[in-house]
Amino acid sequence: MTTGCDARTGTVEIGPGPVTAAQVVAVARGGAGVRLTDGALAAIARGRETVERLARAEDPYYGISTGFGALATRHIPAERRAALQLSLVRSHAAGSGPEVEREVVRALMLLRLSTLATGHTGVRAGTALAYAALLDHGLTPVVHEFGSLGCSGDLAPLAHCALALIGEGQVRDASGRLRDAGPALAEAGLAPVTLAEKEGLGLINGTDGMLGMLVLAGHDLHGLLRVADVAAAMSVEALLGTDRVFAEDLQAMRPHPGQARSAANLRALLDGSEIVASHRGPDCTRVQDAYSLRCAPQVHGAARDTLAHTDLVAGRELAAAIDNPVVAPDGRVASNGNFHGAPVGYALDFLAVPVADVASMSERRTDRMLDTGRSSGLPPFLADDPGVDSGYMIAQYTQAGIVAELRRLAVPASVDSIPSSAMQEDHVSMGWSAGRKLRRALDGLARVLAVEVLTAARALDLRAPLSPAPRTRAVRDLVRSRVPGPGPDRHLAPEIDAVLELVRSGAVVEAAGPLE
């Protein structure tokens, strides 16, 4: 049975097959509920039978009748195994620092539930159903920023989720109120779970947090790269640039698919522009535009191709069942290294590089519009009364500060392994850290693009009576619905925030019309 979604109820059905990126977003951000299918419950039952058979055996099995990590050589008697699982969850719920966002916690819980549904973790059906009920009732365990090394998976974040399942720790209820887990479960009509053999380990040993952040980041970056094309097109017009360099035959000479898509967007966005047409004649002395205009498809396209690769990684991970030891299809319980977060950590680090570079190019276009030596006749800083007014001077400072931060965030986390667990876990992925910094980087990119859109909109106004292209004009008009046009200096921060909301909500792309 496959995993699906019931559009009538907004419920994602979890089977033994993989969830999709769209379903992760629906549960994490849209608040969709979840339901384990009959196929999932059957797979869980089969895996549990294997664990219970091995629990009765005299031979020790890791995670069932032994300690963990560097304590794996200690045999645990049957009467102490429930305490073993409880102690595991309590001791591993050792996170510290700021609270992680609700959407990240819901994403990691959905992905852990998807792995439970394969039957390869060996948990009981009742435990999986109780985990699903937390998502259904909007109870979000409090997870902290620090605690995961990305190997063995996201241990501390997942342990905090498991802690809530047993009625301990803290949660946010559906309204966002901070609650002790026990009373919050009781109020929702849910009973805390008493963990059995292997269940504590099955609940915490996965790469679900870093994968959830990768899926959410990919979803966001697809939208932001379209915004980057819109912003670039507006800036090309504002700076009296040419659209000829975006011609299909020229782009085809370097056949990168992302570049072709970005160039197609720029051609469509600039089609019908009176501003571009005004300087196409023989009187134009401009030979070539600056790189930040001319090379936008190459940079934005390379970012798209990087994202295509990380989408492929995410898709493979969504089809994975991560645990150690794992209940194999032939019934054996086998140790493995699939919990290592390197594939996801590398992808998260990889994305941080084009995020920083796309932002850097955006900032360069913005700066060009503010500099009279390069802006082709626009007033200094687009100010109403230069000298009295500073215009958008400091908005570019804000961009520059963010771009500098994005460059620091582009330094990879995944090369910074720190050994742990008495050298048993002597190489770790730092994938969780890569995910945390990528989320900050995406926030920065959105802010940088918002400043460029705001700046380009004013510059297009100042090119009147020439009219922008229909599609860039629609974006300019959208900005004007939230922010007044050129005039004396105003409090600028709220105007930047207003355009930022248009960027984040997808309104900018929607106004621009269909894009690749």
What are 248's two structure tokens? Answer: 């299909």
**Which two structure tokens, joined as six digits, stand for 140?**
């979000």
Q: In what order do the strands lie in the sheet with 4-6?
A: 4-6, 11-14, 33-36
Task: Look up residue 351 and give its two tokens.
Answer: 């994305």
Transcribe 470-501 into DSSP letters: HHHHHHHHHHHTTS--S-S----HHHHHHHHH
**Beta-carbon count within 10 A of 408 CB:** 12
> Which amino acid type is present at position 33?
G
CB 85 within 8 A of CB 198: yes
Strands 11-14 and 33-36: parallel
Q: How far apart are CA 493 and CA 500, in angstroms?
A: 10
Amino acid at 357: D
What the block records as the tokens of 93 is 């719920």
CA 437 to chain CA centroid, Å, is 10
Q: Is 346 a catalytic residue?
A: no
Q: Active-site residue among 61, 62, 291, 346? A: 62
Report the phi/psi class of residue 412: left, alpha or beta, with left for phi > 0 and alpha for psi in -120 to 50. Answer: beta
- Whole-angstrom CA distances from 265 to 84, 162, 306, 379, 396 are 57, 46, 18, 29, 25
SS3 breakdown of the chain: % helix, strand, coil, rounded to 5? 55, 5, 35
| Backbone phi, psi, residue 144, to 5° | -105, 160
- Angle 501-507-508 from CA coordinates, rounded to 5°: 95
Hey, which residues are catalytic here? 62
